[in-house]
Structure 1
Amino acid sequence: MPKPPTTVLITGAGPTGLTLAVDLARRDIDVRIIDKSPQFPRSSRAKGPNPRSLEVLADLGVVEQVLAAGSPPLSMRKYRGAEVIADTDPYATARPAPDTPYDRPWLIAQWHLEEILRARLAEYGVRVELGAELVGLTQDDDSVTASLAGGREIEARYLVGCDGGHSTVRKLLGVPFEGKTNEEQVMVCGDVEAEGPDRGVWHQWFDEDGGVMLCPIPGTRSGWWFQAAPEKDAAGRPVPPSLESFQRLFARHSGRPGGLLSRATLLSTYRVNERMAERYRVGRAFLAGDAAHVHSVAGGLGMNTGIQDAFNLGWKLARVAAGRAAPELLDTYEEERLPIAARTLDITAERLRVTLEAIKQPGGGLDSAVTPQTYGLGDGYRWSSLAPAGGTARLRAGDRAPDAPCRDAATGAPRRLFEAFAGPHFTLLGFGAGTAQALREATAAHGDELRAHTVTSADEADRATGSAGAAARGGLSDDGGLARSAYGIGPDEDDVLVLIRPDNHVALIAPAGDHRAVAEYLKGAALERA
């Protein structure tokens, strides 16, 4: 039977779907991405990527555009009525570290982030297909057929639902979405135009009756994110959002004229939902992002968890589709990401509880939602069947692979480990000149699938007779020992091989002489054992 012309069909062109599409397209996987909307939304919604998502966007080659289009998090100005109580910067003490180049999230309107990702996708010749609403799907052992409104069909080898909390894909697959909706915790939101407030801070008014928050939208002259506890009608029900209700709420809580606000758009009523899909895969169909999990906005983890879902799934889909791994590799997507979603629900529920308590006190604000747990940097997969035993004093298989500043061993030019990782390949680091033979053999055996780098001190490079430099293109000099430190390898310890997955998590840590472990992992033997 001939294979379908489309390898992967993605439904939903938000940040999750676009991240997955870019990752697949750069791996030469035939991908189509559809969205039921007739035009691209201008919704600001999510306030931007966290540090781990910035690392993902750097790997995809768009982080510089994201940083240029957005702004760092703003100081939070807290009021009681017209009185300023405090200015708080929850990131005041944060600094980039050698192993973590991004020390804070970044503010950018969601529509602008999506624009950047669509432009990157277009560089691979793929464009979002608008006005394509999924209404049905069937699948067999070889393909998935998506039925669209209007009678069209698209056949693909795999389908991924990135179509939000009301996911049609999830419903058509019959996957339960277990959890709860809290009807008491309600917020009205929208984008507004406002003249007068200082655009250098995030304004937050809280009192016994509720609150209003105004955050400037980067890249606009007078656009703001507006969030507030809603007005209630005579029956105690939330009043639907409107410009007039926003103006009344603003005047009540801030003591300023409501007329400062104008042109409210993208109005919505938000209720705290905490739900998670029972499973992430049904045959050849997958769920990612809000289609798989929704939770409180506290901590800003919604969009970020979706981006990181996509980055986990992309390399696995590509590897199986290209025949480089057994289909069982796709089972590890749910195995690894579903526990992360469960943990995220717990984190956001706790951050919401803490924040709701904090805003009852003068000086309390949304900074209570910020914690290192919301950065995404600690999320790893040590429990995964893709994480064999073994490790160093600091790292184990499944952990996020740290960054570190190095130098090109041949030219002396600065080069970071993240630059070596970037792209659709595995990376093999050989710590110590004694790994040269293992790196040569791995490079010869696996070609473009693997890039190998010796990581040696300046003294080791000087003592070597060229073998370390010839072990792989792009040998790296760890002059300050920061790379060894990040990977938990002492200066006097034996040489070590560290294999990095394409999603920049540690695949394997092995002694320098155990080069067969690398070959077995890449050939899929580890997956068969799992």
Structure 2
Amino acid sequence: MAVVDAEVDVLIVGGGPVGLTACALLERWGVRVSLVEKRGELSPFPRSRLVNVRSMEIYRGLGLAGEITSGAFGPEFGRIRFRDTLHDSDFATAAMVGINAPIPESPVTGIVTSQDRLEPTLLAAAGTRMRFGAELVDLTEEADSVLAVLVDQRSGEETRVRARHVLAADGAHSTVRQRLGIGTAGPGALAAVTTVVFGADLDGWCADQPAGVYFTAHGSFLPLYPEGGWAWLGPTPEDSEHTDWPGLVSRALGPGAGVRAEVTRVQHWVMNAFVAERFRHGRILLAGDAAHAIPIVGGLGMNTGIADVHNLCWKLAGVVHGWAGPGLLDTYETERRPVAHRTLQQAVANSKLMFEAQRLRHEQLHSGGAAPTRVELPWSDRYFAQLGLVLGVAYRSDAVLSDAVLTDTLLTDGSTPPEPSETGTDYVPSAEPGHRMPHLWLTPDRSTLDAFGEWFTLLTPDPAAWEQQATAPGVLHIERLPDEHADLCGLSPRGALLIRPDGHIGARWRDCPPSDNILRHALTALTGHDETRSG
């Protein structure tokens, strides 16, 4: 038998935002976690730039939203601007809905920041044992655990960790996914891209017209931090080893700009587009870019991974602590893989919209007459029309009890729950089971979203009618829903909503409890808990 150096409940592979967020979520549930990252430190590159409104809701629940916001750009940077060159005037601009200003559908606002600023905040918030410079080289699935072999990249020393489950958040080139032989579906590699981090005084062109992204014909320019710093993104040149990067970026700024870029870092990478064929292999689960690589246009990739682990971690905690059955983990793929496919489609559509705006400008400039100062964008005021995808995700799985089949005996009629309604590109709040619980104010400074955490929550206008209900193993909180919100949620004065720990509605009773054990039955069904095994 192999010598085991450590035993944990969950081993997380990958120390990016998704893995670090999973650490924080699992620790909140009291799950023993260890994280390994093959890099020797956090990434120094800015990489992902947008923390959308749904991710900020998750960080609000972890108590991190204020700190993350304090190091980010102000809401006026929640805008994209199109220019011929950076020092030209805008020929088009669009707001990032949910970033540039508060929206009534959420208690938080998304932000523009850099991944290398977000990650240290997440790392500082986690008390988990983390090993940087340790690469996973082997995985062996056993009957009730997974044995992982790690190699220290400096010393070459091998260690073995036994975990009840492994969460692979190790990126688009995931070692775990490849070792498991899990294939991918989708376009694959779309483009070779280079990010150049540089310093330059560009305030004269941008201070009065801030933006998170300036999209030009010569690459995209992104301000990195409120105190300064820039990045340029563009196609990787064929002879990248001998490219004059300061010269290339300076030329991209525009003819006659007279600014020399001081380059500090250069990173080459591939823009991928795919979804893994499976998100689960026994006790091993994929999340983030390991499960789906999303093109960067629209800022959906990292945020989709954060939503993955928000969906997964309460389920892992339930299985580890015994108040949920192992089958609950099957609902992770059932719920999140369709979201990944829709998100990939949206990101590809975003890219087409971006290039369409540039094509229209190209036609204007080559029409023979004086070029107009504006281009009518090929989309509405909804930035890339994605708010419905960010807040309107609806799940269908065994962890959701639909209105149509929620009866005293639960699912005994053999019927199939209907597909959740699609919100399209706009977000329409809904209290139907499977949807994210809409943001409603319980008190002047407390949202419905603040009522969810390490527990299931019953929201009802009449708590007394439900307090005598017997419950299944697990944690249940009962919260009073103000009477004025009952109709919006499709409830009578004695109805109730059962909210999962991830804020999605697990069940809805439009009227009073139909029996004394209906809530117990619902919790047992949602968690897949086998009551015959409970003590």
Same fold at TM > 0.5? yes
For the 8 Å contact 1:508–1:518, the answer to whether it is kept is no
- For residues 418 and 64 of structure 1, what CA distance do their matches in structure 2 show? 16
1:402 aligns with 2:438: yes
Counterpart of 1:478? Answer: none
Counterpart of 1:390? Answer: 403
Counterpart of 2:118? Answer: 113
Counterpart of 1:153? Answer: 160
Residue type of the alignment partner of 2:397: S
What is the CA deviation profile of residues 448-481 of structure 1, one whole-angstrom value per residue up to 9, with x for unaligned ones?
7111112244xxxxxxxxxxxxxxxxxxxxxxx2
Counterpart of 2:370? Answer: none
Counterpart of 2:391? Answer: 377
Residue type of the alignment partner of 2:467: L
Identity of aligned pairs, percent?
29
Counterpart of 1:427? Answer: 457
Deviation at 1:141, TM superposition (A): 1.4
Residue type of the alignment partner of 2:116: W
- For residues 311 and 499 of structure 1, what CA distance do their matches in structure 2 show? 18
For the 8 Å contact 1:439–1:454, the answer to whether it is kept is no
Q: Helix, strand or coil for the counterpart of 1:157? A: strand
**Structure 1 residues 255-264 or 494-503, which shifts more?**
255-264
Q: Helix, strand or coil for the counterpart of 2:517? A: helix
Residue type of the alignment partner of 1:390: D
- For residues 29 and 366 of structure 1, what CA distance do their matches in structure 2 show? 48
Deviation at 1:405, TM superposition (A): 1.2
1:193 aligns with 2:199: yes
- For residues 117 and 75 of structure 1, what CA distance do their matches in structure 2 show? 25
Q: Helix, strand or coil for the counterpart of 1:376? A: helix
Q: 5 Å matches for 1:32-51?
A: 32-51=34-53
Counterpart of 2:332? Answer: 333
Change in Cα spacing, 1:307 to 1:266, as seen in structure 2 (3 Å) is farther
For the 8 Å contact 2:92–2:376, the answer to whether it is kept is no
Deviation at 1:43, TM superposition (A): 1.7
Deviation at 1:349, TM superposition (A): 1.0
- For residues 529 and 469 of structure 2, what CA distance do their matches in structure 1 show? 23
Unaligned runs of 5+ in 1: 232-237, 408-412, 458-480
RMSD: 2.9
1:79 aligns with 2:83: yes
- For residues 78 and 302 of structure 1, what CA distance do their matches in structure 2 show? 22
1:90 aligns with 2:90: no
Q: Helix, strand or coil for the counterpart of 1:128? A: strand
Change in Cα spacing, 1:65 to 1:143, as seen in structure 2 (3 Å) is same
- For residues 102 and 488 of structure 1, what CA distance do their matches in structure 2 show? 25
Counterpart of 1:467? Answer: none
- For residues 310 and 205 of structure 1, what CA distance do their matches in structure 2 show? 31
For the 8 Å contact 1:280–1:287, the answer to whether it is kept is yes
Counterpart of 2:343? Answer: 344
Residue type of the alignment partner of 1:424: E
1:165 aligns with 2:172: yes
Residue type of the alignment partner of 1:384: S
Deviation at 1:98, TM superposition (A): 4.4
Counterpart of 1:438? Answer: 466
Deviation at 1:389, TM superposition (A): 2.0
Deviation at 1:351, TM superposition (A): 1.2
Change in Cα spacing, 1:121 to 1:243, as seen in structure 2 (3 Å) is farther
Counterpart of 2:71? Answer: 69
- For residues 486 and 218 of structure 1, what CA distance do their matches in structure 2 show? 41
- For residues 367 and 75 of structure 1, what CA distance do their matches in structure 2 show? 16
Change in Cα spacing, 1:8 to 1:367, as seen in structure 2 (3 Å) is farther
For the 8 Å contact 1:118–1:127, the answer to whether it is kept is no
Deviation at 1:156, TM superposition (A): 0.7
- For residues 365 and 306 of structure 1, what CA distance do their matches in structure 2 show? 33
What is the CA deviation profile of residues 304-338 of structure 1, one whole-angstrom value per residue up to 9, with x for unaligned ones?
01000010110000001101011100111111111
1:416 aligns with 2:447: yes
Change in Cα spacing, 1:418 to 1:526, as seen in structure 2 (3 Å) is closer
Counterpart of 2:107? Answer: 101
Deviation at 1:188, TM superposition (A): 2.2
Deviation at 1:257, TM superposition (A): 4.2
What is the CA deviation profile of residues 243-297 of structure 1, one whole-angstrom value per residue up to 9, with x for unaligned ones?
82353244146224474311231422433x2211110111111110000111211
Residue type of the alignment partner of 2:456: F
1:251 aligns with 2:254: no
- For residues 243 and 201 of structure 1, what CA distance do their matches in structure 2 show? 30
Change in Cα spacing, 1:326 to 1:366, as seen in structure 2 (3 Å) is farther
What is the CA deviation profile of residues 104-137 of structure 1, one whole-angstrom value per residue up to 9, with x for unaligned ones?
x311111211111111113xxx242111100001
Unaligned runs of 5+ in 2: 152-156, 362-373, 405-420, 422-428, 531-535
For the 8 Å contact 1:428–1:439, the answer to whether it is kept is no
Counterpart of 2:305? Answer: 306
Q: Helix, strand or coil for the counterpart of 1:118? A: helix
| Count of aligned residue pairs for this structure pair | 474
For the 8 Å contact 2:56–2:65, the answer to whether it is kept is yes
Counterpart of 2:502? Answer: 503
Counterpart of 1:206? Answer: 216
- For residues 502 and 205 of structure 1, what CA distance do their matches in structure 2 show? 39
Deviation at 1:394, TM superposition (A): 3.9
Match of 1:455 among 481, 489, 496: 481
For the 8 Å contact 2:400–2:434, the answer to whether it is kept is yes
- For residues 12 and 498 of structure 2, what CA distance do their matches in structure 1 show? 30
Q: Helix, strand or coil for the counterpart of 2:278? A: coil
Counterpart of 2:320? Answer: 321
For the 8 Å contact 2:198–2:230, the answer to whether it is kept is yes
Q: Helix, strand or coil for the counterpart of 1:129? A: strand
For the 8 Å contact 2:356–2:378, the answer to whether it is kept is no
Change in Cα spacing, 1:256 to 1:60, as seen in structure 2 (3 Å) is farther
Change in Cα spacing, 1:241 to 1:177, as seen in structure 2 (3 Å) is farther
Q: Helix, strand or coil for the counterpart of 2:469? A: helix
For the 8 Å contact 1:23–1:311, the answer to whether it is kept is yes
Counterpart of 1:476? Answer: none
Change in Cα spacing, 1:120 to 1:20, as seen in structure 2 (3 Å) is same
Deviation at 1:214, TM superposition (A): 1.5
Deviation at 1:101, TM superposition (A): 2.2
Change in Cα spacing, 1:414 to 1:180, as seen in structure 2 (3 Å) is closer
